[in-house]
Structure 1
Amino acid sequence: MRITYDPEVDAAYIYLTDVELEPGRDTIPLETPDGSAMVNMDWKDGKIVGLEVLDASILLHPDLLAQATSPGRS
């Protein structure tokens, strides 16, 4: 698992696999407890492969964001 975070847009992506994610994933919006739907779940070949979190600084715990790298960096 790895996490990227872009503070300019306050968005994080949580990769649940080390396999390179290619186009062709299905994305399902998820409702957060307050109903703001700021999380998208990506599926590929019947498996959950990642989560996109918008407003990440609000929804994710700070220790998780501290592990994140910038998008485009490993």
Structure 2
Amino acid sequence: MADVRVTYDRTVDAAYVYFTDPQVRAQAAHMYPCDPVEVGGMINIDFDDQGRVIGIEVLAASSKLPKYLLESAEGQDPESA
């Protein structure tokens, strides 16, 4: 199984899941916002200029993603976990 890079900002409760090579800094050319009322949160999907998914931003992440994922994410403040 491949490792997936995840960053998390507890201050704004936002996580980003990267689907690109960690060595490559892909730029988002298009963003598709998903705001499903049923889940009570905003999810943004980023695409590169060739239409490939490069990452997903999850707002209200603490209620949408598993706790273990957020605890192991980059940017996690260990004292507030």
Unaligned runs of 5+ in 2: 77-81
The counterpart of 1:67, out of the listed 51, 72, 79, is 72
The counterpart of 1:12, out of the listed 15, 33, 41, is 15
The residue that corresponds to 2:43 in the other structure is 39
Over the matched positions of the two proteins, sequence identity in percent amounts to: 40
RMSD: 2.0
Between structures 1 and 2, the one with greater helix share: 2
Aligned-partner Cα distance in 2 for 1:51–1:33: 18
Name the structure 2 match of 1:55.
60
One-letter code aligned to 1:51: I
The match for 1:25 is 29
Runs of 4+ with deviation above 4 angstroms: none
Return the TM-score normalized by structure 1. 0.80
User: Highest CA radius of gyration, 1 or 2?
Assistant: 2
TM-score by length of structure 2 reads 0.74
| Structure 1: tracts of 5 or more residues without a match | none
Label 1:64 to 1:33 Cα distance change in 2 as closer, same or farther (>3 A).
farther
CA shift, 1:37, in A, is: 4.9
The number of equivalent residue pairs is 70
